[in-house]
Structure 1
């Protein structure tokens, strides 16, 4: 049984990999690491980050996009056409670009500086990112998923990013920050309503 290791919370890079395995119907060991245990585990990972995906006889794979693309290729959740696959991977990397900008803002401790930075994030970077992704999604078709009627691993990536903000968990960033981007919102809704995703969260 393969093992997916990530922190013990239902979000971000680890959760999108869990969802991919669940969609693929792959039984896996869901290794949820507690924060107190992370320092002792960190040096055991290839790059000092999570998630990691271990397959018996093959070794350990790191970096969420690599894990997602591997699962997608193995189980029909990534396009077979190389150009379309690359367009999906482009969107996955764009999601990581967003995380690289947002996470340092979330770590600001000074209350006044924190509010200012998050409001600027909402009105600036997130709007620019949303417009760019919306434009690229429009080039790939009408939806509901990135490439029509089929859910792929890249859809999970965009779903996780969009849900991060629409859930309202990021203070001083409006939960409707992406509301004007109908294709992005459509992907989020389509993934959330997929029967296997519903089943995962109903466990």
Structure 2
């Protein structure tokens, strides 16, 4: 699977699946979650409400992933995952890596060939950007999905993109992976 780093807005990515860094309620919120719900329209909220009324009455657990329609987004599906809040006292990196792995599994199971990820947990959840990028690239670089061909890590802001490029260079971005601005 090719890995791309792109600076930009995840809600305009033309891919099969867009990953939402959701809160456990699945009902929208701030940051990436709010942007996806606003741009995607009421269809996404309608499906997340059905998920809450059935399987996820207590919310989506951290690290798990579930898909809905993408509504008005230029994608077929939104894969919702709940990232962990960063803690300096407790290693939650396994939960962060699970967000990427489970999102890949869900998207691959849907038949997606392309997927775009935000930098999960690096916003309001306080995960240090350099480590968030490293965790994402570790999972994406090791993944061997059946259908997915390209995973794009969409980086919001030039500072975040610069850090991601440095970390990717340090980790020697997988062959076929590329960076674009």
* TM-score when normalising by structure 1: 0.32
Q: Which has the higher contact order (CA 8 A, sep 6+)?
A: 2
Structure whose residues are more often helix by fraction: 1
- Looking at CA atoms only, which structure, 1 or 2, has the larger radius of gyration? 1
* TM-score when normalising by structure 2: 0.35
Structure whose residues are more often strand by fraction: 2
